[in-house]
Amino acid sequence: MHRVFIMLLGGCFVLFNSQTRLHAESKTFHVETMQIPSDSSQLTLKKFKKLRKQADVQVLDTRSGDIFLQGFVPKSINIGFKGPFDHFLGRVFPDKTQKFLLITDLEDKEAVIDHLLKLGYTHIVGVLEGGFATWKNSEIVDSLSNISAGEFKERSDQGHIVDVRTDKEFANGHIDNAMNIPLTDFANFGSTLKKDDARLYVHCQSGYRSAVAISILSAKGFKYLCNIQGGYKALQEEIKENQ
């Protein structure tokens, strides 16, 4: 009887260890499938161009807005990593299954990937090896006008002024003749604007959101776009100095 008890106890111990090991291995496998090894995330220009043509893939450029506006991959969306990145990534891309091709500052590549994974965006196709410079060296580059508040005030033809701040911010003060179109999600933003020959001057409170907004409008085919550096804050200061 004593021998039987020992054999049963030993069997339970082996079964418990086996289940524990399987659970640990399963957990480890799950974590590993959420990670993208550094070497496999690097894409050659040829591979990047091929993947970019897929309808469900979006090029996300995480460089600063001012740098982005000087030159970028056509139809890419800018959400600067050094800023309220988490908030506006969720606003523009609420679907966390969105597939991304990344353009980043070289020193931020690993941090951007890690951050996206932690936020739940696990469908990262890869990062262009060498960053934007790789694209610029051999491909067509888009750029957008980026002017100061002073330059804007000096222009006689000011076209349409698009304020992408929230309704509350707009109600607390805005530029004369500005239209308020809050930056919402990628699918709907800009749907109320007409693609005519009038230039769109886009601004937010300080400049971060307007770079996001103007990149979305550019990706949607708007041609006459201009960002106002420093946003409403800079415009207010310009008005005070000239009163």
Residue 38 C-beta-side C-alpha neighbours within 13 Å: 6
Kindly state the DSSP code that residue 199 receives in the 8-state scheme. Answer: P
Task: Find the DSSP H helices in the chain.
Answer: 2-33, 38-41, 45-52, 65-70, 85-92, 109-118, 132-136, 149-154, 167-171, 208-219, 231-241
pLDDT in tens, the chain (243 residues): 444 433 433 444 344 344 444 344 443 333 333 445 444 489 999 999 999 999 999 999 999 999 999 999 999 999 999 999 999 999 999 999 999 999 999 999 999 999 999 999 999 999 999 999 999 999 999 999 999 999 998 886 768 999 999 999 999 999 989 999 998 777 788 888 988 888 999 999 999 999 999 999 999 999 999 999 999 999 998 877 776
Alpha-carbon Rg for the chain in angstroms: 25
pTM: 0.82
